[in-house]
Amino acid sequence: MEGLYIHKAKKDTMATSLNVEDDIDESLSLLAKHQNIEIMTQTILKGAVVWLSPGTREDSFEFFFVHEGELEIVDDSMTTVIGPGDSFFANNIKQNIKLHCLKNAVMLYMSNCIAYDDVYYWEQNLQDLINRINEKDHYTKGHSHRVLGYAIKIRERLESVCKWMSYDDFVVACLFHDVGKCNVPSEILLKPSRLTNDEYNVIKKHPLDSYRILEPVFGEAISTLTRMHHERLDGRGYPYGLKADDIPMEARILMVADAFDAMTSKRPYNVARTYQSAAEELAGMTAQYDVQVTRVLLDLVTSGAIILDEDNIGRKIAEGRM
């Protein structure tokens, strides 16, 4: 009948949608679209965190109905657990709302914000980059995820002074800060012994290469943050030897999270330090690292908010180079 559109689910759609690649924690399928209204299903894997961000329009409206699974909605004042049959909507929200998935979830998602095309485009680009990293160096993948985890925890305590970049952009930059290592020859990247000066100079190109790879995909801010992750406040970092005034808080956080993971990961040429001793040493390196950031890290470690993950992939895969 004219005007009637039927969407038949592919066999086992729900099951396969929960078997998405390990690296993508969420997946969106478009069921119907009319003008600027989109109706989608969204799957989110257990453990993943998804953020609802303020829309670009004042009348932005996003509705979610939980078909299966369990999620926790966290905002400033409360935490609410929702499950099958529950629903919620966001209408012109002013700040990010965190959704933490407790059990693999499938939700019906309706939006008037043209979410699908944006997310689909991002997922494609993210997946391409993840594949490039994995092909080159398994360590970098594990390292990137751990650095992101530390950086998020630190940023949550310093949100009021993170003015440069949105939370979402910060996440992408942390995850892909080392993507420029794709251009480092494997014999250098995976060399198990000390590098020569020339080899080290090749490694030192990777922040600039991260910038060049990411800029066309994600724009100036995200790529610039990745370019800064080996700078140091005293100007002794690379590639540009920037000094404190030129290094925003978001980059200071990424620098510390990155160094912390390098110090606490077991590598062929490096014994893994304990979290406590690494955080204490970083807190003492006041010339290189932001004191506010290293104090937060030390507090997170001391209070048990960052716990040693014995299963973390970086400890098992002893290859690659920071």
Give yes or no for residue 209 binding Fe ion (CB under 5 A).
no
The residue range among 8-16, 83-91, 252-260, 305-313 that interacts with Fe ion, by the rule CB under 5 A, is: 252-260
Amino acid letter for position 242: L
Q: Which is nearer to Fe ion, 178 or 250 (CB)?
A: 178
Q: Which is nearer to Fe ion, 89 or 269 (CB)?
A: 269
Q: Which is nearer to Fe ion, 250 or 258 (CB)?
A: 258
Q: Which of 178, 185, 189, 103 is nearest to 145 (CA)?
A: 178
Residues 168-187 that bind Fe ion (CB under 5 A): 178
Q: Which is nearer to Fe ion, 137 or 258 (CB)?
A: 258
The residue range among 118-126, 212-220, 250-258, 310-318 that interacts with Fe ion, by the rule CB under 5 A, is: 250-258
Cα(257)–Cα(261) distance, rounded to whole angstroms? 6
What are the angstrom distances between the C-alpha of 16 and each of 19, 20, 26, 65, 81? Answer: 5, 7, 12, 20, 25
Q: Which DSSP helix (H) or strand (E) runs through 51?
A: strand 49-52
CA count, 13 A, side-chain hemisphere, 255: 30
- By CB under 5 A, the count of residues binding Fe ion is 2
Greatest distance between any 2 Cα atoms in the chain = 72
Give yes or no for residue 62 binding Fe ion (CB under 5 A).
no
What is the DSSP secondary-structure string of 120-168? Answer: HHHHHHHHHHHHHHHHH-HHHHHHHHHHHHHHHHHHHHHGGG--SS-HH
Q: Which is nearer to Fe ion, 99 or 148 (CB)?
A: 148
Place of tokens 């925003």: 248
Site string for Fe ion, 256-295 (x = CB under 5 A): --x-------------------------------------
Give yes or no for residue 137 binding Fe ion (CB under 5 A).
no
Q: Could you tell me the smallest distance in angstroms from the CB atom of residue 293 to Fe ion?
A: 16
Question: Which residues of the chain form contacts with Fe ion (CB under 5 A)?
Answer: 178, 258
